[in-house]
Amino acid sequence: MPTTILTHRGDGKVSPAGRRALGHHLPGLRQGSGHGAKAAATPSPDITAADIVAAALARLAPVAAHRTAAVRPRLARVLEAFAAERLGVHHFASVSGYGHGDLGREVLDRVFARVLQAEAAAVRLQFVSGTHAITAALFGVLRPGDRLLALTGRPYDTLEEVIGLRGTGQGSLAEFGITYDELPLTEDGQVDEAGLEEALAPPTRMVLIQRSCGYSWRPSLPVAAIGRLCERVKALQPDCVCFVDNCYGELVQEQEPTAVGADLIAGSLIKNLGGTIAPTGGYVAGRRELVEMACCRLTAPGIGSEGGTGFELHRLLFQGLFLAPQMVAEALIGADLVAEVFGGLGYPVNPAPGAERSDVIQAVRLGHPDRLMAVCRAFQQMSPVGAYLDPVPAPMPGYASDLVMAGGTFIDGSTSEFSADAPLREPWVLYAQGGTHHGHVALALERALVALASMGEGGAGGASSPRSD
Ligand SMILES: Cc1ncc(COP(=O)(O)O)c(C=O)c1O
């Protein structure tokens, strides 16, 4: 996509015009109300952060229109599911205690199954997080002596302790006698299709496919590619369970992995499907017997999916699902905007603005911890909650690296409103996600540009030489 302010040569270097802008204009940025594309077309010393962001938005208009148009079919699927299950206000109540025979929960499960194009689903506030839902799926299905094979390289950080790659004495899969192997990604971050047959030579009970990039510099895996992968796995080992970590991927594409051959998927409700208002929770979806096995791990063998109160909160889960297609589309436009703005400044971004996406994550290689901190601080200042807080890198349960997080969201830990975080490790990549309205992302970006510019006037690793790292 052409950039009009800071020309990007496509080889990771910034053209003289871009360098000029970075070296002289950015440090002098004013925070003002710009006039978008008009101002951007002619770089001048008076250019403002608002001008840069508005120009990026203008360039992205066709992409944004495309993302917005995709809301309709996905929302139609949600509405059809509500209608087919005859959703009514009586489903908002919950049975307390055991939660046996809870009509609201049963309808919720069936609605999610329809939306996720799966045979069955279990949507539970008792799932603490996506990690917990994934863990229930793994422990629910795998038995001692089974082999688990990750097909998308090293799984997300929090699964290392679950699998037993890090930490001991916590009852990991390894401690229960489940063996684990992984097929590393190719250098360009793709699934190693050539190595698949050899990797699947030993009997394998389950393959783990991670749809989203997580904290790694790789493209998200399109649902169609997941489908092809599942087909190849089944051809080699028909009884192998294809499990997909679906975190951050829901509703990004027209189909979900369960529509194209995945046997089981899991994810969090305080990401895409919660539409920013689900207070907590997660889901598993897929083949009925596998969903039940995961639920037997969440609750107890014999109880499975039939217990667990909704704490009178079902309305929020239905309402969040209703809002989710729009929220996801806005988050995608926000991700494109982050990519366009930082890419325009010459920072490597992944994926490129307007690229096909299978998750809502936007990675930006900032190349220096000071820049990471400056951008997180700026985003935090533009967060709806906790704008007065200063993000400080800190250890986080489940993660080996300290994390810095700009996440002033209404639901604690949710990444649905625009937020960003990063593990404190080289190459200092910022992962941004969420954004209920892309106007919010635009405001946060303006603040970040000003912060980077002010570093150029004396801060360590200033914005005047971002790409030399
Ligand atoms: C790909 C992926 N899987 C799993 C998780 C874990 O989800 P949660 O933070 O809800 O435990 C994340 C979190 O960012 C993720 O990105």
**How far does the centroid of ligand 1 lie from the alpha carbon of residue 42, in Å?**
42
Residue 92 is encoded by which pair of tokens? 């908002």
Ligand 1 atom 16: residue of nearest CA: 214
**How far does the centroid of ligand 1 lie from the alpha carbon of residue 58, in Å?**
32
Q: What is the pLDDT of residue 45?
A: 54
Roughly what angle, to the nearest 10 degrees, separates helices 438-456 and 314-344?
40
User: DSSP letter at 6?
Assistant: S
Q: Which helix (H) or strand (E) holds 147?
A: strand 147-150
Walk me through the domains of the chain, giving residue ranges and CATH numbers: 16-59+366-468 (no CATH), 75-322 (3.40.640.10)
> 414 in ligand 1 pocket by Cβ < 6 Å?
no
> 127 in ligand 1 pocket by Cβ < 6 Å?
no
419-445 as b/e: b if 16+ CB within 10 A: bbbbbbeeebbbbbbbbbbbebbbbbb
**How far does the centroid of ligand 1 lie from the alpha carbon of residue 41, in Å?**
40
**How far does the centroid of ligand 1 lie from the alpha carbon of residue 223, in Å?**
18
Q: What is the pLDDT of residue 456?
A: 78
Q: What are the E-state strand segments in 311-465?
A: 349-350, 362-365, 403-406, 419-423, 429-433
User: Which of 429, 428, 466, 463 is closest to 449 using CA atoms?
Assistant: 463
Q: What is the pLDDT of residue 94?
A: 96
The span from the first CA to the last CA of the chain, in angstroms, equals 24
pLDDT per position as a tens digit, 82-94:
999 999 999 999 9
Residues of the chain with pLDDT under 70: 1-46, 457-469
**How far does the centroid of ligand 1 lie from the alpha carbon of residue 383, in Å?**
21
> 210 in ligand 1 pocket by Cβ < 6 Å?
yes
> Following DSSP, what letter does each residue of 150-215 receive, concatenated?
ESSSSPPTTHHHHHTSS-SSS--TGGGT-EEEE-PPPTTS---GGGHHHHTSS--SEEEEE-S-TT
Ligand 1 atom 7: residue of nearest CA: 130
Q: What is the pLDDT of residue 414?
A: 87
Ligand 1 atom 10: residue of nearest CA: 130
26-58 as b/e: b if 16+ CB within 10 A: bbebeeeebebbebbeebeeebbbbbbbbbbbb
**How far does the centroid of ligand 1 lie from the alpha carbon of residue 83, in Å?**
31
> Following DSSP, what letter does each residue of 323-348 receive, concatenated?
HHHHHHHHHHHHHHHHHHHHHHTT--
> 130 in ligand 1 pocket by Cβ < 6 Å?
yes
